[in-house]
């Protein structure tokens, strides 16, 4: 799915940690999905083109990755309720709130943002909010998770028109930190890893900002991965949502709606 272009410092590939992030963020080895099965999923679009994923918190607020929304506010829209990123009605953005400690450099600590909408979403079978974890809920280590998005199907592939889904596994915090000791490093307070040990399934460019979901709860936000996408031994890295619940609640747009 969506991931940043980051090389390996081992196995003949180079790691880049000094350059600022520039993402035009498919799920690798995913299968076609229906938005009615994942009604919390949205496409974050810039100048009318898909750039990242996101999830619906409530009628006015979308959760995504900070690195997805650092450009001009006026050019961003949100596309909810659509299996295809080339159909549907986009919603204009009123405000973008990026975490105050987001650095913009690898390993992308605090890579989280809230996109506030001009008008409220209308909930139906295609548009519904995601459930968030409780503050500091432990991650469900080794649990099955589902990742959805429209990102590249491989490193040199193309953004997908139809929503994709893939089943992966949540890694233990200690294993995440061990595997990314050179390519990150990751931090168990802010990051969670997911993928499969053999590689070949997970996120790629264009999946950034999308939700990692376990039993209906969003535990992670796609942040970055080692390139080539889904390379064996390097699971995808996500923002650990449970560490940011208080921050999220403090920055939601409030509105009067049923």
Residues 45 and 110 in one domain: yes
In a domain, 112, yes or no: yes
Residues 46 and 102 in one domain: yes
Query: How far, in Å, are 101, 157, 164, 192 from residue 154 at the CA level?
Result: 31, 5, 13, 22
208, 225, 242, 243: the catalytic one is 208
- Which single residue is written with the structure tokens 């650092």? 70
**Annotation says 111 is catalytic:** yes
**Annotation says 208 is catalytic:** yes
43, 50, 55, 67: the catalytic one is 67
Residues 150 and 125 in one domain: no
Per the structure, the complete domain to which residue 186 belongs is given by: 143-242
In a domain, 149, yes or no: yes
pLDDT in tens, the chain (258 residues): 433 333 333 232 322 222 233 333 347 878 999 999 999 999 999 999 999 999 999 999 999 999 999 999 999 999 999 999 999 999 999 999 999 999 899 999 999 999 999 999 999 999 999 999 999 999 999 999 999 999 998 888 899 999 999 999 999 999 999 999 999 999 999 999 999 999 999 999 999 999 999 999 999 999 999 999 999 999 999 999 999 999 999 999 987 765
**Annotation says 72 is catalytic:** no
Number of structural domains in the chain: 2
43, 55, 99, 111: the catalytic one is 111
Q: Assess contact for 64 and 221: CB atoms under 8 A.
A: yes
Residues pairing with 37 in the sheet? none
């Amino acid at each position: 799915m969506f991931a940043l272009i980051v090389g390996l410092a081992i196995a003949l590939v180079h790691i880049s940690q000094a350059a600022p992030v520039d993402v035009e963020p498919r799920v690798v080895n995913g299968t076609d999905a229906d938005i009615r099965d994942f009604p919390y999923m949205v496409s974050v679009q810039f100048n009318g083109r898909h750039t990242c994923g996101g999830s619906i918190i409530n009628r006015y607020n979308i959760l995504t990755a900070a690195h997805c929304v650092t450009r001009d506010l006026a050019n961003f829209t949100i596309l909810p309720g659509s299996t295809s990123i080339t159909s549907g009605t986009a919603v204009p953005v009123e405000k973008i709130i990026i975490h105050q400690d987001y650095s913009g450099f690898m390993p992308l600590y605090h890579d989280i943002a809230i996109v506030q909408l001009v008008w409220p979403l209308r909930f139906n079978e295609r548009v519904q909010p995601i459930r968030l974890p409780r503050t500091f809920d432990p991650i469900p280590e080794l649990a099955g998770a589902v990742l959805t998005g429209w990102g590249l199907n491989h490193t040199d592939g193309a953004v997908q028109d139809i929503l994709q889904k893939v089943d992966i596994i949540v890694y233990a915090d200690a294993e995440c930190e061990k595997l990314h000791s050179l390519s990150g490093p990751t931090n168990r307070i802010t990051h969670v890893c997911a993928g499969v040990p053999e590689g070949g399934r997970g996120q790629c460019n264009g999946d950034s900002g999308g939700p990692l979901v376990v039993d209906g709860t969003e535990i992670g936000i796609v942040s970055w991965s080692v390139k080539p996408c889904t390379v064996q031994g390097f699971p995808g890295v996500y923002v650990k949502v449970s560490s940011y619940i208080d921050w999220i609640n403090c920055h939601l747009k409030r509105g009067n709606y049923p």
